[in-house]
Amino acid sequence: MTQSRGAAEQIAKAAKNAKNGKTVAKTNERLRQNCGIPNWIIGTFVTPGGFARHIVALLFWIHTPLVYLVWLLIDIIPAKFKHMVCGFAWRCWLRLHKALPRRLVCHGMSDSMSIEGHALHNVMWPCRMFPNPSWQMRFALKNLGNFSHVPTAKTVEWVETSPGLRSAYVHLTSPAESNPRVIFWVFGGAYLSGDVKGNMGLAEHYARELGCDAFVVDMRLCPEVCVMDMVLDMYRGYEWLLKKVPAENIIMLGISSGGGTVVRALQLALSDDATRRDYFGEKLDTLPPSLPAPAGAILLGPFVNYDTDNLTDSMLNYQVYDWVVSQSVASTVIGYGYRLCGGKENWKKCSPLMHSMEGLCPLMISVSEHECLIDETRQLAAKATKDGVDVTLSTQPYLCHVYQVITQCLPEARAEELRILDWVRSRGGAWA
């Protein structure tokens, strides 16, 4: 994969900062990198450009056909069985961590983390030593439900919201309800990965908690398309749903890049025809119309700034802490550079952070204080507040990107989920 000069410079800067132990931590507590292993031992494995990292990458690519075959075999195993195996393995792993002395097992970022947080960190941390190409990211997110919630709804309506795309409407409320409430679910994956299948269990879980239906919108992925195409797919999905239920009965939830997609779509829904035509392109047979705002939107670790030549401090420096957006994942995403936006000239057009927030619906923004996207998330919250939007910003320390979806493993995630559900119920109207 070719990298732009700017992207390569950003990766090199991140490597230098990691080597020097720089951090943007706004806390007096010393945060622990790399399980507490000295950098002179582990640095060559985790720092981009390290000699041992190159060796590991070479071995990985040599074994790629075998890895791909293993993924394909895992993919055909029934989801419920995979969920049962993952659950059993996690319980054994956690029991081991609880039985052993804390000094042997608590190697996460901070001693203040829960024992579950340390256990999850210890199993996810080694992944940063291996390459994480987009095809592997896609496999992982396709199986997201195996580690969280498996869908059990008996009635799922598959609808074509855009040509070739199949979004899922999960019916959970009574058929007699004429205007059901719906959670509009937008998956994440850095625009490179994510799908409906891997998110249906999570969406259904939230919908059951709220007593509503769920709609998981399908979108194409980059780099086969660009960010603007994905926003169009999400926009068409919202347009379809509005024909079924009123806007005040809809709450949106976007994960990571899905959060960015939600914000940009809502901005375009309020814009004039000229702005939408400029964004979506003259090639469309029909211009997507302006659309009413939903009752609210939940953004989990939103990815909202796509200027890969000028990354935030947290994106550069928190790769050494983040279990999800680690050095491997960050290198893959940054490596695509402006290709995600269809060219450098489009990054401002694509980035929600570069546009007005005026008129947006109430926002619930949830993020970890020590994940790579914390800086741009805070910028988003500040800009939206300045533009008069009702914003609730909830932050938790020491956790990874989109930790909120790991509710079956992390007590911190379950606590955050309850705060999010309470926020939805506080919207009043149909959601009270």
Burial 193-229 (b: 16+ CB within 10 A, else e): bbbbbbbbbbbbbbbeebebbbbbbbbebbeebbbbb
Q: How far apart are CA 417 and CA 423, in angstroms?
A: 10
Q: How far apart are CA 251 and CA 243, in angstroms?
A: 15
The domain locations on the chain are 33-133, 144-431
What are the CA-CA distances from residue 25 to residues 28, 29, 289, 332 (Å)?
Answer: 8, 9, 44, 24
Which DSSP string corresponds to 207-256? HHHHTSEEEE-----TTTS-HHHHHHHHHHHHHHHHTTS-GGGEEEEEET
Copy the structure tokens of residue 240.
């379809």
Contacts 24+ apart (CB under 8 A), 349-352: 349/228, 349/278, 349/279, 350/226, 350/227, 350/228, 350/231, 350/264, 350/306, 351/260, 351/264, 351/304, 351/305, 351/306, 351/307, 352/260, 352/263, 352/264, 352/267, 352/302, 352/304, 352/380
Q: How far apart are CA 271 and CA 156, in angstroms?
A: 33
The answer to whether the beta carbons of residues 218 and 167 sit under 8 Å apart is: yes
Q: How far apart are CA 381 and CA 355, in angstroms?
A: 13
Q: Phi, psi at residue 283, to the nearest 5°? A: -70, -15
Residue 174: what pLDDT?
A: 87
How many helices and strands (H and E) does the chain possess?
Answer: 18, 8
Contact residues for 84 (Cβ-Cβ < 8 A; gap 6+):
none
Q: How far apart are CA 143 and CA 165, in angstroms?
A: 19
- 10 Å CB burial of residue 164 (0-12, 13-18, 19+) is exposed
Nearest CA to 325 among 125, 49, 50?
125
The answer to whether the beta carbons of residues 354 and 385 sit under 8 Å apart is: no
Report cis status (omega within 30 of 0) of the bond before 133. no
Amino acid letter, 407: T
Q: Phi, psi at residue 255, to the nearest 5°? A: -105, 120
pTM > 0.85: yes
Q: How far apart are CA 231 and CA 330, in angstroms?
A: 22
Q: How far apart are CA 391 and CA 384, in angstroms?
A: 7
The answer to whether the beta carbons of residues 193 and 184 sit under 8 Å apart is: no
Residue 244: what pLDDT?
A: 94
Q: Phi, psi at residue 131, to the nearest 5°? A: -60, 150
Q: How far apart are CA 395 and CA 366, in angstroms?
A: 6
Within 13 Å, how many C-alpha atoms sit on residue 223's CB side?
16
Within 13 Å, how many C-alpha atoms sit on residue 86's CB side?
21
Contact residues for 45 (Cβ-Cβ < 8 A; gap 6+):
52, 53, 56, 129
CATH superfamily entry for domain 144-431: Alpha/Beta hydrolase fold, catalytic domain (3.40.50.1820)
The answer to whether the beta carbons of residues 139 and 70 sit under 8 Å apart is: no
Per-residue model confidence as pLDDT tens for the chain (432 residues): 334 445 455 545 555 554 444 444 444 457 999 998 998 999 999 988 899 999 999 999 999 999 889 988 988 888 889 999 999 999 999 999 999 999 999 999 999 999 999 999 999 999 999 999 999 999 989 888 877 788 888 899 999 998 899 999 999 998 878 889 999 999 999 999 999 999 999 999 999 999 999 999 999 999 999 999 999 999 999 999 999 999 999 999 999 999 999 999 999 999 999 999 999 987 688 889 999 999 999 999 999 999 999 999 999 999 999 999 999 999 999 999 999 999 999 999 999 999 999 999 999 999 999 999 999 999 999 999 999 999 999 999 999 999 999 998 999 999 999 999 999 999 988 898
The answer to whether the beta carbons of residues 397 and 427 sit under 8 Å apart is: no
The answer to whether the beta carbons of residues 131 and 327 sit under 8 Å apart is: no
